[in-house]
Amino acid sequence: MRADFEREAAKMETAVQRMMDRHAQADARPSSDPETERAVRTRERLTHEAARIRAWLAEHSEDRKGAKGAIRLSNRTDNESAKMATGKGVIQGYTGVATVDAKAQVVLDAQAHGTGSEQELFLGAVEGAEPYRSDGTAICADAGYHSEANLKALSERGIDAWICDNQYRSRDPRYAGQEAHKVKPDPLWDKSKKKSKTQCFRPQDFRLADDHSHCICLAGKRLYSNGSDWTIGGRKAIKFCGAVRDCLPCALRGQCLRKPDTTKTRQVAFFMAKRHNKRLTRFSLRGKRKVDGQWKLYCIVHNIKKLAHHGYAG
């Protein structure tokens, strides 16, 4: 990470030096030349930005290291965050960890960390829940928290725990064929150009009626309501379906359907509003202390709802 910033600063400083050389060669031109004034503003901006990078590098003499010594990718605006590979691509952010009671799912401890590595967060979560544990308490965690270091630490502390090992999927017949997914490229490093998928008509290409009773396709045909009480991916939606008499003979089938040879009619969904658990779609603050506070506040609201549902609201 430091190497990237150093290259960025050096690139800016080189650009500034080139501009200075050009200015020295153009001293004979009037100072009111618009091109010269614009170049001066650019030079001042690059000089200021390069100085900020150099100051940041001086304040942070070393890269942040992960549990295994690897460099933790971050940025200058929030150095406590980290780049993480997710199902929706690479994001810059934090991991929220919550320890819950198995019976009621009440959050006992909540922490936010600028890392995507679950293994190094496990013992901190165990320690955070210590006031609520007894001699008969057992810890349960998924395979992401499994490591020899964590198992050794649990053994030394005499804590019973069940953590799936990293190879349990290979022994479970329900995960047969998983090897096909292991050859997929790492989203953090794979920069190759992705093959674009065939684009069909999208929902925004259809005209939704003002009363949401139907929609009109590009061929001018009506798609009829297929129900308004749908939830897709946590979002409320209304769905419409075309009529067989309209879709089968339509000349636009190849552009409207992904599988026109086997699919009879087109269906389309319009999302009306987002629905998330307590509407926390992502952290909105920067800095570990603030993000940790936001995550704890979210978990407090979760616990209040649990108490309300169990009859403590009155």
Neighbours of 49 (CB within 10 A): 14
Between 33 and 245, where is the model more confident? Answer: 245
Residue 217 and residue 48: Cα distance in Å, rounded?
53
Neighbours of 111 (CB within 10 A): 20
Looking at 4-13, 40-49, 218-227, which range is the least confident one? 4-13
Residue 247 and residue 223: Cα distance in Å, rounded?
10
Task: With a cut of 70, say whether residue 8 has pLDDT above it.
Answer: yes
Residue 197 and residue 206: Cα distance in Å, rounded?
20
Mean pLDDT estimate for the chain: 82
Local structure of residue 185 (DSSP, 8 states): P
Query: What's the whole-model pTM score?
Result: 0.56
pLDDT of the residue at 4: 73
Please identify which residue in the block is written with the tokens 């992401």: 144
Between 127 and 232, where is the model more confident? Answer: 127
pLDDT range class, residue 82, cuts 50, 70, 90: confident
Task: With a cut of 60, say whether residue 34 has pLDDT above it.
Answer: no
3-state secondary structure 45-93: HHHHHHHHHHHHHHHCCCCCECCCCCECCCCCCCCCCEEEEECCEEEEE
The stretch 274-289 carries a mean pLDDT of 77
Strands 222-225 and 89-93, sheet pairing: unpaired
- What is the torsion angle, in degrees rounded to the nearest 10, for the CA atoms of residue 237, residue 243, residue 247 and residue 248? 140
3-state secondary structure 195-249: CCCCCCCCHHHCEECCCCCEEECCCCCEEEECCCCEEECCEEEEEEEECHHHHCC
Residue 285 and residue 78: Cα distance in Å, rounded?
10
